[in-house]
Amino acid sequence: MRRDIDVMKLNDLLYFVRAVDHGGFAAAARALGIPRSTVSKRVAELERDLSAVLIERSSRHFSPTNLGAAFYRHAAASLLEAEAARDVILRNLEEPRGTVRVTAALPRAQLLAPYLPLLAASYPRIQLLLNATDAVIDLSHLSDLSCSDLIQRRLETQPVVLVASPSYLLAHGTPTTPAEVAGHAGLVADVVNPASGWLLERGPACERVFPNARLVANESSVLLAGAVSGLGLTCLPLRLCERALKLGELVRVLPGYRAGQLTTSLLMPPRRADIPAVRKVADFLVEHMARRADG
């Protein structure tokens, strides 16, 4: 007759396995720090529930029966699995530790900079290694990354806006429609096709405009400096130029339009995304950067 698994309590398996491991109830009780009577009683209850003799014992003899030996192998394996299950929870509850490496292009490293000291203070056992590079490894993208096998966590989405300095607009006029951008000096980022123009969007409508490319650079800080100095119009992520806008060094041109949006994401290999320290760093950056965006 098959016995349901719920007749076996995990502690009963533990007492049985330890009794076999230590060769007796008394030795097992000492190892467990409990009375000998508790161990012997619980093993007897286990045998009664299973309707099987697991251990042959007398005043001079203590050993598992053949059936008990087979049962012992499975019971010991079950205890190991139970400990592994417990460790999964403990690893998630305990303070994360270890080294987390973040690689970002220089502008994105500057974007992360305000948050890293607070992150380090919040999790002192995590060692952060930030590799700021000018290589083609970036956390930002203008298009969807749905084809990527990497785990993606979105950090921030910001509009790309059209800006110019007050001095430039005073000298050359302020466009009031997208069509009026044509003929203005443009500071553009497309070094492959500088004449491709900008796609300006307002709601579902969009219109491509074609300034005269006066300066071409694939580095946003160069375009920012050029715009502040009065060289012409340019398109920049709002976060990058917001200080210049607040100081009056730049102003929004066609403020009802945007030239796309820039999304900054954390990209992680699937096998590393579940490491507690990596997950804590990702959760922290997502939460705090979203809080700034909301504020």
Per-chain mean pLDDT for the chain: 86
Q: Where do the domains of the chain lie, and which CATH numbers do they carry? A: 5-93 (1.10.10.10), 137-264 (3.40.190.290)
pLDDT at 176 over 80: yes
Which pLDDT band, with edges at 50, 70 and 90, does 94 fall under? low
Q: What is the pLDDT of residue 190?
A: 86
Q: What is the pLDDT of residue 138?
A: 44
Cα of 269 vs its chain's centroid, Å? 10
Q: Which two tokens stand for residue 24?
A: 């007796």
pLDDT at 137 over 60: no
Mean pLDDT of 198-226: 93
**Residues 75, 46 contacting (CB under 8 angstroms):** no
pLDDT tens digits, residue range 246-268? 999 999 999 999 999 888 888 88
SS percent in the chain: helix, strand, coil, step 5: 45, 25, 30
Q: What is the pLDDT of residue 34?
A: 93
Q: Which residues lie below 8 Å from residue 151, measured CB to CB, with a gap of 6+?
A: 267, 268, 269, 270, 273
Q: What is the pTM of this model?
A: 0.57
Alpha helices for 94-182 (secondary structure H): 106-112, 116-122, 166-172
Above pLDDT 70, what percent of the chain? 88
pLDDT at 135 over 80: no
Q: Which residues lie below 8 Å from residue 145, measured CB to CB, with a gap of 6+?
A: 152, 265, 267
pLDDT tens digits, residue range 17-73? 999 999 999 999 998 899 999 999 999 999 998 899 999 988 788 999 999 999 999
**Residues 54, 71 contacting (CB under 8 angstroms):** yes
pLDDT at 1 over 60: no
Sign of the alpha-carbon torsion through 16, 18, 22, 26: negative
